[in-house]
Amino acid sequence: MAVQIREGVRTEKKTAALAASGVCKAFRPARVTPGGTTVRAVDSVSLSVWRGEIYGLLGANGSGKSTLIRLFSTLLTPDAGTVRVFGLDIDRDELAVKRLINRVSVEASFFKKLSAMENLVYAGRLYGVAPEESRPKIVSILRRLGIEDARMTEPLEKLSRGMQQKVAIARAFLSTPMLLLLDEPTTGLDIRSKREVQTFVRDLRDEHDATILLTTHDLDEAARLADRIGILHQGRLVAEGTALELAARHGGGSLEDVFMTLTGRRLDDADASEPERPT
């Protein structure tokens, strides 16, 4: 079934890898929380990401980026609206959608006592990749991401945050997803690791026909990697286009200026003042 879906989508030309229409998600406070109010984390978002595209979703902390990624990765169900991945509805065709996607979150989440190799072999099995196939692939991906062979068999808790994040990227890549959802994959990484990951993301798209939705609050990263950029503010998609289109449409200048024009704040200031919203 998964092979049929993959073959089908590979032969089509202009395909919406991801199509979201009028997606809403609100979180109600727990009954025991006095004075809590319902938070509208995602508010009528509609967007399309074309096959082979890198789409950058830019927004401050609490703007709804992670909620949107969790909706797209079947971890949340929308209150309203529809989400389709290569034409498949994420609710009705959930299992088929899961075979086509993978995700890297801001926190590299692993069984910390297990090694990178053990975690990745396990992850491969969940996506139907047998260990004899996954092991050489894992070594190759991790080497390419700059992880030495000796570190691959060490418990992950002994690896640095940057290395763990690279292993998380390797996990997502291992299943050769048609749609890769990257939720702030370079947050907290040093400059060199950040560049290595960014290069890898680009290579992944170019060499493996992957479509990538990338959330970030790093303007340089968005400009460097994304073919198109969407700006999310308080759960709403307030602008969308290439970096040049956005600049032309919103008074010229840099992406930072565009962000400020649309949201009324600089991205750094918005990060500092926005309260964390539920994801």
Q: Contact positions toward other proteins, by CB under 8 A?
A: 2, 27-28, 67, 70, 73-77, 95-96, 98-99, 101-103, 105, 107, 109-114, 118, 121-123, 125-128, 130, 155, 171, 278-279
For residue 244, which amino acid is it?
L
Binning the chain into helix, strand and coil, the percentages to the nearest 5 are 45, 25, 35
In the three-class reduction of DSSP (H, G, I as helix; E, B as strand; rest coil), residue 216 is classed as strand
20 has which bridge partners? Answer: 47, 83
Nearest-approach distance from CB 141 to other proteins, in angstroms: 17
Q: Which helix (H) or strand (E) holds 182?
A: strand 179-183
Nearest-approach distance from CB 251 to other proteins, in angstroms: 37
Distance CA 256, CA 253 (A): 8
Nearest-approach distance from CB 114 to other proteins, in angstroms: 6
Nearest-approach distance from CB 80 to other proteins, in angstroms: 12
Smaller CB separation from other proteins, 134 or 198: 134
Task: Please answer whether residues 80 and 239 qualify as being in contact, where contact means their C-beta atoms are separated by less than 8 angstroms.
Answer: no
Distance CA 193, CA 187 (A): 10
Query: What would you measure as the largest C-alpha separation in the chain, in angstroms?
Result: 55
Smaller CB separation from other proteins, 130 or 248: 130
Helices (H), the chain: 2-11, 65-72, 94-100, 116-126, 131-144, 161-174, 191-208, 219-225, 243-249, 255-263, 267-273
Write the CB contacts of 149 (distance below 8 Å, at least 6 apart in sequence).
139, 143
Smaller CB separation from other proteins, 103 or 250: 103
Nearest-approach distance from CB 117 to other proteins, in angstroms: 10
Smaller CB separation from other proteins, 94 or 220: 94
Smaller CB separation from other proteins, 174 or 260: 174
Question: 245, 246, 238, 240: which is closest to 262 by C-alpha?
Answer: 238
Smaller CB separation from other proteins, 83 or 231: 83
228 has which bridge partners? Answer: 55
Smaller CB separation from other proteins, 59 or 78: 78
Nearest-approach distance from CB 109 to other proteins, in angstroms: 3
Q: Which residue has the tokens 């809403």?
A: 24
Nearest-approach distance from CB 221 to other proteins, in angstroms: 23
Smaller CB separation from other proteins, 50 or 127: 127
Nearest-approach distance from CB 229 to other proteins, in angstroms: 25
In the three-class reduction of DSSP (H, G, I as helix; E, B as strand; rest coil), residue 96 is classed as helix
